[in-house]
Structure 1
Amino acid sequence: MRIGLVTDSTAQLSADEREELSEATGGLFAVVPLTVLIGGVAFADGEVDAGHLCAKMTDGTEVTTSMATPAQFSEAYARLREDGAEAIIVVTMSAELSGTRDSAVTAAEAEDILVDVVDSRTTSAGLAGALSVAVAGIQQGLDTESIAGTIADWCAAETRSVFAPGSLEYLRRGGRIGAASSLLGRALQIVPVLGLNAGIVVPLARVRTRTKALEKIVTLVTQAAAEVAEPEDTVHIELQNAEGEMDTADAELLSTRLRELGYEPSFRTLSTIITAHVGPGTVGVTVQTKP
């Protein structure tokens, strides 16, 4: 059975990654974009430079986002069907962060081929990693139910994300702050370190300075690496920031500290959709196993 693969744009895949995923699925791969609105002007996720978006947010320009629609997913499914897909796996960002997963399900209900939608309960590098798990299952010849189950299990057990926003204000405005809302009353006295738990933003630590927050991230990354991996597993560490530049002071500090501990972190810019909610100055690390 030829199985197609669909995801949303918050995975922030590079051109090389998209090409690799397309080749691995025999051309049966599609990315459905979310939308970011800057001062009321709509752009597909990825059309706007990360630094430009951060500058606009910093100067007070209103920035909002819009989920991917059922029509967009239907279009992606139709293209894959036309290209020979007999079934489709869809892996989306956390349903706790966006209605995009629900749009994928709504579109799937109208299809006459099997479309299995998986809520990754993560985003960005975690979502990108889940796509590698999907490809591994497809190449092994597994059925869609087995692949979907494997992806869900991997997302729950073998990927962790930790991040420090520049401010809690953007998360508060967007309503995505989840269990970390308990921090708002003390936002002037603390620097938060946050993570994703079952797709929900949760507090992991409360410290007094940005430097301590970055050191706490390093500690949590080390703990997560031990938690997600068996001895035979390869652990992948990916550094991410909102500005899209590896040479920011925070990113450089994290990279240096992680390398001192023996890791070789890769780098990924946060999607404009994620940055619109977490805000400029956000830096984070995702820890995951390689399938």
Structure 2
Amino acid sequence: MIGLILDSTVRLSDSDREVITEAFAGRVRTVDLTVTVDDDEFRDSQLEPSELCSRMRGGSTARTSMPAVEDFAVEIRELLDDGADGVIIITLSAEMSGTYKAAAAAAAQVAQERGLPADSGAGAEGVRPGEAVGIRVIDSRTASAGSVGIAHWAAAYAHLGLAACGDAAEKAAAQYSATYFVPETLEYLHRGGRIGGAAALFGRALKIVPVLQVDEGRVEPAARVRTTAKAARRAVDEAVAAVDAMRTLDGAENLRVQATVMHPEATDGEASTLFRAILEAAQAQWDDVDTAVLSTVVTAHVGPGAAGVEVRLVP
């Protein structure tokens, strides 16, 4: 049986955790990123995103940092010592963070310690980049709810071993997930250096409401509209188009659509206007729609008031 390591931006709901933990026979670990608010440093799991939003609205600044290589190495060793015959690691987009590189370095380090051949990064014969024999690192090309969907793909194939599990997760990351979101302001993405191609929108007329997407792991503009209501509808329209495109892929005909509506401060019980609008539009399109609160680290970059929708095809 293999083990699973996630970074802390993959914020699992109780039901997600139950399904995924069962599939991996309890061998699931999380490695925290770090968020620093003014001069106070927290592990991602220590500070609630709603508290961060409150502090950011009050003028605090937030910055984030990736885990240390040793943080991943410790968890890999523990899983192997616990009897796992392989480990899969799913990280947020390598375009957004150095977390993937830290995980890959840890995989190579532990493989060397255990006498396993490992990829040096140049693509050793028979070994993929980011993979050691028995340890495989997956760049999710996304973050948050998108990574949760990829973890479910890994869980569905965990019983077939590391190769099948990793291949399923990689295919899901490349083909079966799409994320669209609407920030209250581009300021936080710009400040954190995660704005990508959406930089062209920064500083434009205040009346423009941008709809952004995660494309190949980068934040890119998807549309520009004039009102928040239009932005909510457009985000879901873009997600519908993405699902239609996924449906054309070989083998996708019998897969189910799941959607997650995300917000850093609210669930559907106490929601912002934007969050409610996206949720209602998503529920009008798909039957399987849930809600999720973004991790604190992701919140530091998208900022208070943001909301979005992630869609995926699942077995």
Q: TM-score w.r.t. structure 2 length?
A: 0.87
Indicate the residue corresponding to 2:229 in structure 1: 211
**What are the within-5 Å matches in structure 2 for residues 168-183 of structure 1?**
168-183=186-201
- Which segments of 5 or more consecutive residues in structure 1 lack a partner in the other structure? none
* Matched residue type, 2:151: L
Q: Which residue of 2 aligns with 1:287?
A: 311
Give the C-alpha shift of residue 49 in structure 1: 2.0
Quick one: distance in 1 between partners of 2:285 and 2:99?
37
Query: Is 1:167 aligned with 2:205?
Result: no
TM-score, normalised to structure 1, is 0.94
Which among 143, 153, 156 is matched to residue 171 of structure 2? 153
* Most deviating of 256-265 and 40-49: 256-265
- Counterpart residue number, 1:235: 257
Distance between the aligned counterparts of 2:212 and 2:74, measured in 1? 35
Q: Is contact 2:67–2:102 with CA below 8 Å preserved after alignment?
A: yes
Task: Provide, for residues 213-247 of structure 1, a one-character-per-residue CA deviation record: whole Å limited to 9, x for no partner.
Answer: 11111211221222223332210011001113322
Please tell me the residue identity of whatever aligns with 1:221.
Answer: A
Residue 195 in structure 1 maps to residue 213 in structure 2: yes
Residue deviations 1:237-287 (CA, integer Å, cap 9, x gap): 110011133222222122222223343420010111111011011100000
1: CA distance, partners of 2:31 / 2:220: 27
Deviation for aligned residue 1:290: 1.3
Higher mean displacement: 59-68 or 269-278: 59-68
State the alpha-carbon separation in 2 of the partners of residues 60 and 35 from structure 1.
Answer: 20
Does residue 254 (structure 1) correspond to residue 278 (structure 2)? The answer is yes
Aligned-residue RMSD, C-alpha = 1.5
**Which shifted more, 63-72 or 41-50?**
41-50
The SS at the match of 1:160 is strand
- Aligned-pair identity in percent equals 36
* Match of residue 267, structure 2, among 245, 250, 254: 245
Determine if contact 1:168/1:187 at 8 Å carries over to the other structure. no
Corresponding residue SS for 1:188: coil
Find the residue that maps to 1:118 and give its secondary structure: strand
Distance in 2 separating the partners of 1:19 and 1:70: 28
Query: Is 1:8 the counterpart of 2:7 in the alignment?
Result: yes
CA shift, 1:175, in A, is 0.4
Amino acid at match of 2:225: V
Using the TM superposition, give the Cα deviation of residue 288 of structure 1 relative to its aligned residue in structure 2, in angstroms. Answer: 0.2
Q: 1:187 deviation in Å?
A: 5.0
Q: What's the secondary structure of 1:94's corresponding residue?
A: coil
